[in-house]
Structure 1
Amino acid sequence: MSSPIDLSTLFSLEGRVALVTGAGSGIGSYIAHAFALAGAARVYITGRRLEALQKTATFHKAIIPIQGDVSSKAGCSALVKAFEDAERAHGISGQIRLDILVNNAGVMTNDGTWDKDGASADEISQALLKLSDDEWAKGFAINVSSIQWMSASFLPHLARAAAEGGKAQGRGNIINNTSISALYVSRDAQGHLYSATKAAAESLTQNLASKYTKLGVRVNSIAVGNIPSEINDLNNPKSFISMLKDIIPIGRPGNEEDIAGVVIYLASRAGSFVSGAMLKIEGGILIGV
């Protein structure tokens, strides 16, 4: 008996156009690599550091750097125009489509720290008051507000991809990197600002999914943890991954392939019936602590 399942196309991104924010290094660069290898026609990567973007782009000819800043609404609008100009430069005429938007850009600003076993109320108070109003605002602008601004700014392009024969193939979708910090609460975890922004990003993902899915635009999140990256460095003893690496239930830190498998699933025909989901990529740490 023949099967309707065609594995050669189920996970393929052949011919698709993607845009990944914060892709100069770490998880964003892993996602760009994965999309290019899965057959995407063009993978636009954005970030503030042009040199880092250019380095990521050397991995595959489909990866195209666009320097930009998602920390403001104006910056996100500028990225839309830069994307449209780049698509026209590649011979795309008429209305522009975007198959995949990945909101990955993020910043981690550390709160003050304290001795988890012996700090006084005054010491904890001072640590939690360390960051300024501007630092809190910047954290929320990049980790939360940029998701709203990018998702809204690119919605017409995403809806067009879904409407023009793309719904059944999973075209026109958003993936937000919200981090397991959205869910992880422990007396040992002292990054209150980062955790708060990621929890807000997860809430925003659900709200966007509730509005966009009827337009054919799926919205999902990946809650990543224990994957080495620029802001989660195994060589930094105070990083999240360094503190948890010895108690990860699956017995190892994650890697680039662990990210690739999940994002390709969500972005392809394989994940075309999935919207409003949060997929945890964290080695089981949330069920093992």
Structure 2
Amino acid sequence: MAVLTGKVAVVTGGSSGIGLAIARGFREEGATVFITGRRKDALDKAIAELGEDVTAAVCDAAVPADLDALYATVREQAGHVDVVVANAGIGIDVAFGEVTEEQIDSQFATNVKGTILTVQGALPLLRPEASIIVTGSTAATRPQAGLEVYGATKAAVHNLVRGWAHSSRRYGFRVNVLAPGMVPTPGLLDLVPAEVRSQAEEVIPLGRHGTPEEIAAAAVFLASDASSYVNGSTLAVDGGVAQV
């Protein structure tokens, strides 16, 4: 039997890249999936690919009203949530000394504020033993030049998860960080130059970049009952680059 049969999952930032791969992996394992994104055209394309048992909602994770509407839809259609993947995030490559206030605010709004609001908004709908997964990054501990602010936002969400784990007994959930390394996605291709991606391969112990599907497989594990005693942890899926 598929390991997520009967579960309801919400994946923010699910219209492309890692989020889309996670949504696909959840659907293939039997879950009913809700995905969000800020662009309707991208969501329409994702739904055309994913097919049945997936619902899309235009939603900016940093806007409380958008999240309220999302969870109202989930409540109406499914009644509860078993898995939340707070995946929506942005990164801006800008040299130190040239970072603008707008660039700081936009990254912290989506990556930190949006993660907090996504998790808090789901609390009334969570079924006992629900799994909350927050997408982190190896940049939380090894930020590259130009991505210092992005790395700081990911360090923040890693620490949020450590704090939220203390509330797991009270609210009946478990919460973990899924921390990918450099995975070629549309967002990464726009953010990191080809020469930098090539250089990065040389320092990854496995000698290659990861794939969205490999990150999704790790997300399926964290969403499933197989990880029922995993809480407050960071699951690094990075070929070992930030581990050794």
How much does 1:192 deviate?
1.1
**Pairing 1:149-168 to 2, within 5 Å after superposition:** 149-158=117-126, 161-162=127-128, 167=129
One-letter amino acid of the structure 2 residue matched with residue 184 of structure 1: R
Partner residue of 2:103 out of 116, 135, 142: 135
Please tell me whether the aligned partners of residues 22 and 213 of structure 2 are also in contact (alpha carbons under 8 angstroms).
no
- 2:91 is the alignment partner of 1:108: yes
- 2:11 is the alignment partner of 1:20: yes
Partner residue of 1:49 out of 34, 39, 48: 39
Deviations, residues 4-46 of structure 1 (Å, cap 9, x unaligned): xxxx46xx00011101001111000010000000111x20000
Secondary structure of the corresponding residue to residue 67 of structure 2: helix
Mapped partners of 1:138, 1:130: distance in 2: 15
Mapped partners of 2:63, 2:213: distance in 1: 32
Instruction: Give the equivalent residue in structure 1 for 2:173.
Output: 217
One-letter amino acid of the structure 2 residue matched with residue 97 of structure 1: H
The change in CA–CA distance for 1:236 and 1:129 in structure 2 (over 3 A counts) is closer
One-letter amino acid of the structure 1 residue matched with residue 228 of structure 2: S
Please tell me whether the aligned partners of residues 92 and 191 of structure 2 are also in contact (alpha carbons under 8 angstroms).
no
Instruction: Indicate the structure (1 or 2) with the bigger Cα radius of gyration.
Output: 1
How much does 1:239 deviate?
7.8
- 2:182 is the alignment partner of 1:226: yes
Mapped partners of 2:58, 2:90: distance in 1: 17
How much does 1:236 deviate?
5.1
Partner residue of 1:189 out of 145, 152, 155: 145
Q: Which runs of 5+ in 1 are unaligned?
A: 1-7, 113-127
Mapped partners of 2:196, 2:52: distance in 1: 33
Instruction: Give the equivalent residue in structure 2 for 1:176.
Output: 134
The change in CA–CA distance for 1:189 and 1:154 in structure 2 (over 3 A counts) is same
Instruction: Give the equivalent residue in structure 1 for 2:24.
Output: 33
How much does 1:60 deviate?
3.2
Mapped partners of 1:72, 1:13: distance in 2: 29
Secondary structure of the corresponding residue to residue 232 of structure 1: helix
TM-score by length of 1: 0.78
CA RMSD of aligned residues (A): 2.0
How much does 1:133 deviate?
1.6
Mapped partners of 1:157, 1:239: distance in 2: 45
The change in CA–CA distance for 1:104 and 1:239 in structure 2 (over 3 A counts) is farther
Mapped partners of 1:155, 1:241: distance in 2: 38
How many residue pairs match? The answer is 243
Secondary structure of the corresponding residue to residue 208 of structure 1: helix
TM-score by length of 2: 0.92
